[in-house]
Amino acid sequence: MQSIVRLADYRPSDYLIDRVELDVRLHPTETRITATLAFRPNPAGEPGAPLVLDGDELTLLAIALDGQPTGPGAIDVTPRSLTLHQPPQRPFVLEVATQVNPSANTKLMGLYRSNGVYCTQCEADGFRRITYFLDRPDVMAVYTTRIEAERAEAPVLLGNGNPVEQGAVGLTRHYAVWHDPHPKPAYLFALVGGHLGRIGSRFATMEGRDVEIAVYVEPGKEDRADFALDAVARSMAWDERTFGRAYDLDVFNVVAVSDFNMGAMENKGLNIFNDKYVLASPDTATDADYANIEAIIAHEYFHNWSGNRVTCRDWFQLCLKEGLTVFRDQEFSSDERSRPVHRIAEVRTLRARQFPEDAGPLAHPVRPQAYREINNFYTATVYEKGAEIVRMLRTLLGPDTFRRGMDRYFSICDGTAATVEDFLAAFAAESGRDLTAFSRWYAQAGTPTVAVTGAHDPAAQTYILTFRQSLPRVATEATAGAAVEPLVIPVALGLVGQGGESVAAASERVRDGVFVLDKPEDAIVFTGVAAPPVPSLFRGFSAPVKVEHALTRDERLTLLAHDADAFNRWQAAQSLAMEVLVGRARAGAPLADEAGPEGAGLTGALATFLDAEALADPAFAALVLALPGEQEVAQTIAGEVDPDAIWRARQTLRRQLGRDLGSRLLSLRDALAEPSGAPFSPDAASAGRRALRNAALDLVAAADPETGTALALAQIEAATTMTDRLAALATLSLVPGEARDGALARFGEAYRHEPLVLDKWFALQAMIPEPGTLERVRGLMRHPAFSLGNPNRVRSLVASFSLNNPTQFHRPDGAGYDLTAEVVLALDGKNPQVAARLLTAFNTWRMVEGGRRRKAEEALSRVAGTPGLSPDVSDIAGRSLAPVK
């Protein structure tokens, strides 16, 4: 098993690298890389220590020290490391020549080929698959890269930084030289070579720099990159306005490739993207695709400061760049779109992905204390929960002090590899506050629960809110036995009168609408409260916690109708629905046409809401209509979960909503229909109208499949956008019969040459909650467009089944577990990262009822016991099976 790496064992590198000069001669199977590395001993390191360079599947061709061959016994070399036993204790130059095979690199780490295009992925430890190196983020150097290739094979040659020189080499080859003047760690290195189409524009920074920005895509798809290019320019302008951060090179390039393990990579000046987050047209991309492209373009660009100019000292500090940058991209999207709607979307993602992670065997702190395989820590905890910590910091300090703290952090840490302590120190200095207790958010795993009770004293006209926080003891290899300490939790709140009015009550413990809970138990007293109010707590989801607050149904209805906070209005609707769903699921209730009086109460409230507000804010209305997902219901039940019972409960409530709201929903569809010939726009308002119209279709079909099928077929025929076409197909996918089968077949045929659209087609079918879906998935794995070698295809089909189809993944016979384990093992030798991420589908296995639990454990044990597992898969399997402590 892979050895444990611990934060407590960190020590600086014994040697530093000031300058890296790379000569990369591209060839499909025999690429030669000559690295000239300028070393010097690190004053903070161990004097006279051997120099140990990282490698991975490398072939050494030559090595020279200060221009001379190394003597006998001077080095030890394997494909995984190169050791210079007695390095000079002065500055010296090591020249290392290696050879790699990009075409055979199915791991998609290091240098590989994607549809004939040479590209790289070096985070976290891919650079060692290119040359022997000190492959750690605290070793930062200035890079100059010369790239050479056959002109016919790779007419476009791109690298980090600014272009310096280009020219011919003989009759058929050419070269380009790129120089990045900003020191960076090896994980930010990148190069691209191939046939690529280009679109570009220019951006003038606030410092007067004229920047050439460009997006490179598969030739013939240049028109699908316009939105991405525009998003780059808008991201640049927003970062200047909001954080005062200007771009620092003469060019900024984005390249889209079809084979990519992640969403995108922020390599300095040369961002490489999964093409699904670049390419968009009304006929091939949904509104969600456009929003994701905008957000991920922004995320990678914002890394230029939060990740590149200031990087992380070690991989334990990953949240320092990722959590902070997610916060920044979320703020960008909120400003570009609807802030309340986007906030709700953020929380839905957090609850669907991170809360289950925090509750399962893969739980870990935002800053882990130990890991076996760092690639397994690119998680929702690091990204989404990490962003919530930054947001809480802003809530505690206020926007002005927070901005000063960000400015101080960027200024002091520019050009360095920083830590969480460095980050918090900047805010402590600007605010004068001790943030030691706040820093526990980075160290303690698990989702906190805050229990709240309220008491009104009519004689004294006071209202007391009492808060109790608790945190589950989450045992990991590094934290087992550690004490659980209280967290600093900002509670944004207000009081609402029984008639819906805002209650102007005073409390000395509440400042700017925020109470800070920093003890296990605390209470606040409001004065001047004549009648019992309805508390509106954690407005805007001010902290990533679970709230236990026994509001009555009428009090929740008051919040839904009148709360000034949009998030808590949505939350009130969710809580009303969750009460119905959990009650029916726990009782194992059968599928029915209505959910009883509780369901009727919900539909009545939603009817009033729709009549008053649906057309004013369709995007918000669509979210209010959306029921909690099956995974969220399972998290609320928390143990002995029956996924089939949850599905029946949810389907029953969907039927009742569709039946009771049917006429309103049909009227909304008519009112929101786009005029014939109207131009397409992916803006938030247009997307919101489409979202509500399609939400209405979904509920109508749940109650009346015949009417829903007719409407869906007509919508597919008339649709001018992929959003409407796919939404109608999704509705049909839940209605068994010839209409569904025919629509799916026609869609697959129409888009057979569009891989990203076929991904949507694969995913829809993988998520059908029917017993026949498993065989459907197996059949689609034989489809000519499917390949285990392409991460997007695997995610769209197999991961959609395993992660987004609870009833079929958790089949009582264990066949869903077996399919997932089978694919994990088939993938592990080719692409361990994708295999390991697929295996995380088992994270919730301990929550399900006993029969399923035994089947899941058997499948996991089969994976764990397979000889020759990669460290990636071995780590996930081992942690998933670890005994509960």
Structure tokens given for 484: 């659980």
Handedness of CA 669, 675, 676, 681 (dihedral sign): negative
What end-to-end distance do the CA atoms of the chain give, in Å? 21
- Computed from CA positions of residues 14, 20, 26, 27, in that sequence, does the dihedral angle turn out positive or negative? negative
Separation in Å, CA 712 to CA 18, 147, 288, 592, 719: 62, 52, 19, 23, 10
Q: Which residue shows structure tokens 């939060």?
A: 306
How far, in Å, CA of 216 to CA of 613, rounded?
A: 43
Give the C-alpha separation, 80 to 58, whole Å.
Answer: 7
Neighbouring CB atoms inside 10 A of 212's CB total: 15
Taking the C-alpha atoms of residue 872 and residue 876, their distance in angstroms, rounded to an integer, is: 7
Crossing angle of helices 339-349/566-587, nearest 10°?
30
User: Is 300 an active-site residue?
Assistant: yes
Buried b (16+ CB within 10 A) or exposed e, 223-250: ebbebbbebbbbbbebbbeebebbbbbe
d(CA 584, CA 600): 14
- Buried b / exposed e over 438-473, threshold 16 CB at 10 Å, is bbbbbbbbbbbebebebeeeeeeebbbbebbbbbee
**Other residues' Cβ atoms within 10 Å of the Cβ of residue 828:** 23
d(CA 109, CA 833): 9
For residue 129, give the DSSP letter.
G
312, two tokens: 């992380």
Q: What does the block give as tokens for 587?
A: 């009782």
Backbone CA torsion sign across 656, 659, 663, 667: positive
What are the structure tokens assigned to 326, written together? 């997610």
Among the listed residues 21, 300, 331, 388, the single catalytic one is 300
E-strand spans in 66-140? 68-69, 75-78, 81-84, 92-100, 110-114, 117-121
Which is nearest to 414 in space by CA: 217, 183, 607, 206? 183
Nearest by Cα to 77 from 104, 96, 105: 96
CB count in 10 Å sphere of residue 713: 18
Q: Cβ distance 116 to 259 under 8 Å?
A: no
Contacts of 745 (CB under 8 A, 6+ apart): none
Distinct helix (H) and strand (E) counts, the chain: 30, 31
CA-to-CA separations, 728 to 284, 583, 758, in angstroms, rounded:
15, 31, 16
Are the CB atoms for 454 and 464 separated by under 8 Å?
Answer: yes
CA angle 505, 508, 509 (to 5 degrees): 105
How many residues are present in the chain? Answer: 885
Read off the amino acid at residue 367. Answer: R
Distance CA 128, CA 187 (A): 9
Q: Are 729 and 708 in contact (CB under 8 A)?
A: no
- The whole-angstrom separation of Cα 751 and Cα 724 is 15
DSSP 91: -
Of the candidates 850, 778, 774, the residue with the CA atom closest to the CA atom of residue 815: 774
Please name the residue ranges forming H helices in 244-306. 287-302
Widest pairwise Cα distance in the chain? 95
Catalytically active residues are 300
